[in-house]
Chain A
């Protein structure tokens, strides 16, 4: 093993730039760190070279711990993106610099320089001033300079980033040749997936300071583990469905979940298929094919021998699409694929089925916390507690009324974030109507849970009991597609969960979501059924409860069952919550596809208004 990184962490101020990256790179390997700009990949490279010191972690080069060695004593060769050629020196002086520092004799230096110039294709340019060279030539000199003293490790930081496409591909080829010829271990940093595929023995995908996954090009492209890798490495469709008894369901499609990616029952499953795995046919395909539906071609673009087409299909029930992103408010399934160039396309209806597919790993839970920069921070504190228990990532969403206020809001939220010690959360600031922007955020990114508190308004003249929730919060609840935990006061740990099955229409969702949350928190579950006549539940209620218990069993949970008599469901729920001292009340929310058309149902509103305890509102289908 030539390069070993052991839990490298780096912060700039409060910003976590590199987050516990561990990596082993074999001798002679060309490893590519691939990630969007700002993902911290260049910082990793600088840490290996010793130009930046990590806050934590170790760097080993050929088994030697170099973590605290200065760059001069590490013997790495580094090629920077730009402007690192010594402009006042000739090509020869540049290349010989490292040798001269090491006091190598002139004859030897010259020999070395000539062979390197030959290798990078610049023979004869020895006495040219570096500033007279073109960008591509400068990078060739930089490469030769970094290789001159035969380093064990070659580090390349977006070396071709500033060059035009043609020169870039020439340089890539030379780099690959030279690297193989010299058998030098190399790490290259890039944001260009094409470049990564062309050069890499292995690729490491980096997202927001974390090494998401590493593997061969083939593996990362066709069997990625994470959503990030799936969408960052090439085009692809990602659908979200639900796991049940070892199978993944996406509307009519039921796919077996393969062995290495087990999912718990009821959890979300992400399906990936690449454009080349889409099969189009004019006639309805046979029964045993994986039929997605019938779609129309909406976009097409010419790509030489092939044409890229996008088809629009009716949305699959109980399924969401993450990639390519579906425009907000549109209710369809988008499929990208390629067709032969001469294939007629206009206005055609085609059957779409899958020739291959891949199931991603069960995603890490994601919480979204809605914060408007003022008032109580209990929701932030609960979010921190939940994020630790569920090992979930947290996104903070602030919505400014107008774009000009974004900076002020972002500063306020940041301050509150620190106060609540919710340090690793990602902050997103949007502007516009809070409820609408929250709904758009939920449509664009998949969250398991939204956490919000009562959003205070400036003036309260006629504050009714119901309105004390705050208009913004109510609107969020009416528009949301994810469960929302409404927090009013500090109540962690959440160890007793009350699920109200008869609160309005009976749905399996509230039971399932509440049950899953309880299991992951190690909390105790109580199912409540409120009747308004006698102790004896009606046959309909019995069916509800049986369904609920089956759902809980499916999630390996058992729960207590309570019946209660009360004049209205909300009264019963509130009384039970008080007497049993529950930490979370789970109630159903609105039905799907009715966003903004309906008001939140009355029981839910009354429960929300009547208690200070956290309430989890679960949309009936999401």
Chain B
């Protein structure tokens, strides 16, 4: 302090340092995350880039790898789009409509979170597999689900169903009904009220949910390997490709694809984080 002090030297309050217990907690929290997350990710980075960028590039542009990446992004995008629409619809119905079985539907939404994805895949094979009644029926009509890209999309739909619903639900609850009602009283139709009042308000939540949905979809493995198998160029997704590379002892190839997926996931996380902090007022400087 440059200010001249006209008072006597002030008694200082001592022991301003953090209590050791708090330090201990902080250190253990950070080091746990360091060991569990930072260390493994660095191992992948090192493994992929150990032989230089050229080798990395070769692994990525390998036709099989490239096709896998394309398939992953395509199916994930399709599943995300469908769930964005149906998820928003489900959330709207759950929040705004009173009907019998609402509680049950609400609980059902969480099922994919609890259900092992491998089990999900098994169930889908049982239902739609070529040996099954429904599967045989579909096949005779030229629709092939299992061991085909549509099966991947179906599996992804099931696995990622909760994300959009659970993101939109709180946003809808926050949105007071009287805004919507006000629109109705001034003569707007229900659809116009939804389109002009509700949708703009919950749009960020839909985007956030969709981003999470997409992120989960590109990483899905258990359901896909059962439903789609691993036919290179046709049903081999990126995650399955990584598994194949590990099995064939090509760690560099596995790590290269992993890095790509990691980068994508990380970008999605950043986007979600940005979406969630966007609305908040910037911190006031004290």
Contacts and interface: CB of A to CB of B under 8 A. Distances in A.
Interface of A: 6-7, 9, 12-15, 20, 53-58, 67-68, 388, 391, 411, 414, 421, 423-424
Given A6-B11, A54-B13, A56-B10, 20 more contacts: A7-B10, A9-B10, A12-B286, A13-B286, A14-B286, A15-B286, A20-B10, A53-B15, A56-B13, A57-B11, A58-B13, A67-B11, A68-B13, A68-B14, A68-B15, A411-B285, A414-B285, A421-B2, A421-B3, A423-B3
Interface in B1-33: 1-4, 6-7, 10-16
A588 to B, nearest CB: 33
Nearest to A6: B11
B13 A424 contact: no
10 contacts: A6-B11, A7-B11, A9-B10, A15-B286, A53-B15, A55-B13, A55-B16, A57-B13, A68-B13, A424-B3
A296 to B, nearest CB: 46
A433 to B, nearest CB: 27
Contacts of A54: 13
Nearest to B2: A421
Given A14-B286, A423-B3, A53 B12 contact: no
Contacts of B4: 388
A53 B10 contact: no
Contacts of A56: 10-13
B286 to A, nearest CB: 4
B10 A57 contact: yes
Contacts of B11: 6-7, 56-58, 67
Contacts of A14: 286
Contact of A67 (B6, B14, B286): B14
Nearest to A68: B15
A391 B10 contact: no
A67 B11 CA distance: 10
A9 B7 CA distance: 13
A54 B15 CA distance: 11
Contacts of B16: 53, 55
A391 B14 CA distance: 29
A391 B5 CA distance: 11
Contacts of A13: 286
4 cross-chain pairs, A with B, having the tightest CB-CB distances, nearest first: A13-B286, A68-B15, A56-B10, A54-B13
Nearest to A69: B15
A9 B12 CA distance: 10
Given A54-B13, A56-B12, A67-B14, A391 B6 contact: yes
Given A13-B286, A15-B286, A7 B14 contact: no
Contacts of B15: 53, 68
Contacts of B1: 423
A423 B2 CA distance: 9
A582 to B, nearest CB: 25
Contacts of A55: 13, 16
Nearest to B4: A388
A229 to B, nearest CB: 23
A48 to B, nearest CB: 13
A103 B280 CA distance: 46
A68 B285 CA distance: 29
A57 B14 CA distance: 10
Nearest to B1: A423
B258 to A, nearest CB: 43
Interface in B264-284: none
Contacts of B14: 67-68
A12 B285 CA distance: 11
Nearest to A14: B286
B229 to A, nearest CB: 52
B286 A388 contact: no
Interface string B35-50: 0000000000000000
Contacts of B6: 391
B7 A7 contact: yes
A14 B3 CA distance: 14
Nearest to B6: A391
B13 A388 contact: no
A388 B12 contact: no
Contacts of A15: 286
A612 to B, nearest CB: 26
A46 to B, nearest CB: 13
